[in-house]
């Protein structure tokens, strides 16, 4: 009787599969070896050799320069949103630091006000509006920008300190109000000064922008500066001698019609 021995082979049953698997394993091993060699070659030659800052394996480096969102004099001038990201250390001489903070901001007040007071048309800024802006800017600096001398208001990179939020907000409000008055009232007020209307003067821009003019002033502006003041003169303005503020007259009329 014949004896049959059964053996289990580890070779794949499918013809050609062994050759495929062998090639795949060899290829995969070659790729891993190539990657390891590349990493080894990129390592420094010696432990004391520093890596280039741009090398992939170099330690991270923080860029401490002001970001585009940092609150600076430029963002104050432009009226842009910003972030208070300055890092300042506490001051020891609080009296001197407070005076320095206020002085630093007042030194740039004239330049900021001169630009804010310039009308969009490109004509020269009205000197009365510039003077009004500088006065309010200086008052805001005295009121909120000393920071009690605890820290510098601007760091070495030109960024406002986090403690300067109230100061920054007040100065920004002055500059933005000035820019608004220059846009809507500058031409009218310059004409009023040339024609000698009662509305002329340092408060002209504020009164015209807020429409707080007497009927006499409105009559003069309508007759002498109609083209320059047409946006600010009510269509139903009266030429009578009534000197009540025009704003109150309009408010009474608005109240009667139920509007706000």
Query: Per-residue pLDDT for 199 more than 60?
Result: yes
Residue by residue, what is the 3-state secondary structure of the chain? CCCCCCCCCCCCCCCCHHHHHHHHHHHHHHHHHHHHHHHHHHCCCCCCCCCCCCCCCCCCCCCCCCCCCECEHHHHHHCCCCECCCCCCCCCCHHHHHHHHHHHHHHCHHHHHHHHCCCCCCCCCCHHHHHHHHHHHHHHHHHHCCHHHCCCCECCCCEECHHHHHHHHHHHHHHHHHHHHHHHHHHHHHHHHHHCCCCCCCCHHHHHHCCCCEHHHHHHHHHHCHHHHCCCCCCCCCCCCCCCEHHHHHHHHHHHHCCC
To the nearest whole number, what is the mean pLDDT of the chain?
Answer: 77
Please write the tens of the pLDDT for every residue from 215-260: 888 889 989 988 888 877 766 553 443 434 444 333 333 333 333 3
Q: Compute the distance between CA of residue 177 and CA of residue 172 in angstroms, rounded to an integer.
A: 8
Q: What is the pLDDT of residues 161-185, one digit of tens each?
A: 999 999 999 999 999 999 999 998 9
pLDDT for position 211: 84
CA distances from 150 to 104, 157, 163 (A): 15, 18, 9
% of the chain beyond a pLDDT of 90: 38
Cα 143 from Cα 166, distance rounded (Å): 10
Q: What is the mean pLDDT of residues 135-154?
A: 96
Condensed to tens digits (0 to 9), the pLDDT of residues 61-105 reads: 555 666 778 999 999 999 999 999 888 899 999 999 999 999 999
């Amino acid at each position: 009787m014949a004896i049959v021995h059964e053996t289990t082979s580890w070779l794949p049953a499918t013809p050609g599969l062994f050759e495929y698997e062998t090639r795949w394993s060899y290829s995969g091993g070659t790729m891993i070896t190539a990657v390891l060699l590349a990493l080894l070659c990129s390592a420094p030659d010696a432990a004391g050799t520093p890596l280039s800052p741009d090398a992939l394996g170099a330690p991270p480096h923080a860029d401490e320069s002001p970001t585009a969102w940092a609150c600076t004099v430029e963002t104050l001038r432009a009226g842009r949103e910003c972030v208070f990201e300055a890092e300042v250390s506490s001051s020891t001489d609080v009296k001197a630091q407070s005076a320095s903070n206020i002085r630093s901001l007042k030194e740039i007040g004239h330049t900021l006000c001169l630009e804010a007071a310039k009308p969009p048309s490109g004509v020269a800024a009205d000197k009365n509006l510039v003077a009004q802006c500088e006065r309010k800017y200086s008052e805001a600096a005295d009121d909120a920008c000393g920071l009690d001398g605890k820290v510098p208001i601007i760091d070495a990179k030109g960024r406002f300190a986090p403690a300067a939020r109230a100061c920054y907000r007040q100065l920004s409000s002055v500059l933005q109000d000035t820019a608004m008055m220059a846009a809507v009232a500058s031409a009218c007020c310059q004409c009023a000064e040339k024609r000698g209307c009662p509305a002329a003067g340092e408060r002209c821009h504020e009164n015209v922008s807020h429409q707080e003019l007497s009927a006499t002033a409105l009559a003069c502006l309508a007759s002498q500066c109609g083209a320059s003041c047409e946006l600010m003169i009510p269509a139903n303005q009266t030429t009578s001698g009534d000197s009540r503020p025009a704003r109150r007259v309009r408010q009474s009329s608005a109240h009667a019609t139920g509007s706000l």
